[in-house]
Amino acid sequence: MSRLATALLNTARSGDLIIPKMAGGGVALPGSFTTRTFGGYAAIANESARMRQMESVFRRGGQVHGKRIDSASKTPARDAKLAAHVASWADFLGARFPEVRKDSLVPMASQGLTSFMPGVYQIEHADLVAWEEKILKVDKSTVDPAAENYVWYEQDTLGVAKVGSTYSSMDVPMVAGTAAQANYGNIVPALVGMEINFMDERRSALGVANGKPDFKVEQKKVEACQRAIAEFFNFLWLYGDPLLGIDGFHNHPSVSTISLTNGNWVGNTAANINADLVSILNTIMNQAQGGRFADKSKLKILLPPLQMQYAENLLVSAAGSTSVLSYFKANNGLRDDQIISVYDFQATNSILYNGGPQGLSVDTGAVIYNFGDDADPVFILSQPIEMPAPPRQNGMSTTTFYHARGGGMRVQDARRIRYIQGL
């Protein structure tokens, strides 16, 4: 009897069937094995064998109760096992409702094995640091929505005084007047559309009625349009586009580059990384011999995530095992929000935007800049996202277009911003 019981238990386990338990959690084994329990195990063994037979039929491409698995299935073994369970469940329902054909019970059986979870998980997307104004402000009002380009002027005063031996006007040097320089930027449009068929709403309603969550197809298409335009300008503002005459945050021709004293931070010492941070800070503070450039509270440093991690994790032992970043901020009076990590600044995180220009790909870069007044560098958005025309009926579908216009990064005083390379 022991060998028979063991064989039946193994057969039950191989068929993914529930094995009866005794009090205390143990499996019913010989000693308590009666004719009654033997009959139960025999039923389990018979059902397990029958399910393996149906599974085999499905895997060979055959039918059970008029149903077969998809010949294009990438997981035939799993699908055949599931189909066998469904067929077994249909047999059970058929025994309860003999007046109903088994092939019509298969869908019911399949549905009976499916539980629909509430809600729909929304795939997370990367932050759009430029579009969301996490690094610079977006100028949405200065440039007219109809403009194809824009111009701004930089003005300076030039003149040198000297000691005069007389008060004759002939001996007094004259100032050269004001020097004005015109700077130009281009405006480009971004367009995207969506189409809704009258059947979309009906299909969605049917799915909800059958227990599926509401996918809100139309609403999600609207959100997709808005996201597409936001991604377009986020990329344009960060990387520019030479073919369109757009200068971006990473490649503006007016911005100079700072070279690090100690080079690559990967594997470098805490002292060297701190020294580089101090050098970066002093470089931009000394640009205009004081004034607003000397105000540390109006400086911001943007670092790639890996370099930020090194600065946060590497310890300055001489300062009581304080991180490089904490030590640097404490000794220079900087707030936490003045040094932030930007995912896009890591070279390995750059992307190719839909056939457009390649993002930062050669070097991992960082940026330091002065902020806090009307002369800050800004991104240009002359026309925020709009629906330029009413939805258009196109046969049995409705087409809607979305539109925005903008330029690149406007730098009104290039001394306020510096690129840092070699990290």
How would you write the pLDDT of the chain (423 residues) with one tens digit per residue? Answer: 456 556 656 665 665 555 555 444 445 544 444 444 445 556 666 777 777 887 788 777 887 766 677 666 677 777 777 777 677 766 665 665 565 555 554 554 455 556 677 777 888 888 899 999 999 999 999 999 999 999 988 888 888 888 877 777 777 888 877 778 888 999 999 999 999 988 888 888 877 777 778 888 889 999 999 999 999 999 899 888 888 889 988 888 888 888 888 878 888 888 899 999 998 888 888 775 666 677 888 889 999 888 898 899 888 877 678 899 999 999 999 999 999 998 887 766 655 555 444 444 445 578 888 888 788 899 999 999 999 999 999 888 999 999 999 999 999 888 888 888 877
365 three-class SS:
strand
CATH superfamily for 185-421 is: hypothetical protein PF0899 domain (3.30.2320.10)
How many Cα neighbours within 13 Å face the side chain of 339? 24
Q: How far apart are the first and last CA of the chain?
A: 74
The pTM of this model reads 0.69
How many whole angstroms separate alpha carbon 226 and alpha carbon 131?
12
Q: What are phi and psi of 4, to 5 degrees?
A: -65, -45
Distance, CA of 231 to CA of 127 (rounded, Å): 10
Beta bridge partners of residue 161, listed in sequence order:
none
The first and second tokens of residue 183, run together, are 């700077």
Structural domain boundaries in the chain? 2-112, 147-180, 185-421
Q: Scan for tokens 């306020």, then name that residue.
A: 416
Q: Which residues contact 123 (CB under 8 A, 6 or more apart)?
A: none
**Dihedral of alpha carbons 143, 144, 150, 154, sign:** negative
Residue 249 is encoded by which pair of tokens? 């945050």
Residue 251: closest CA among 357, 133, 140: 357
Residue given tokens 């997981």 in the structure block: 75
Residues 6+ apart with CB under 8 A from 154: 180, 181, 183, 412, 413
Q: What is the largest CA-CA distance in the chain?
A: 133
Query: Do the beta carbons of residue 316 and residue 330 sit within 8 Å?
Result: no
Q: Are the C-beta atoms of 235 and 244 separated by less than 8 Å?
A: no
Q: Which residues of 231-255 are buried (b: 16+ CB within 10 A; e: fewer)?
A: bbbbbbbbbbbeeeebbbbbbbeeb
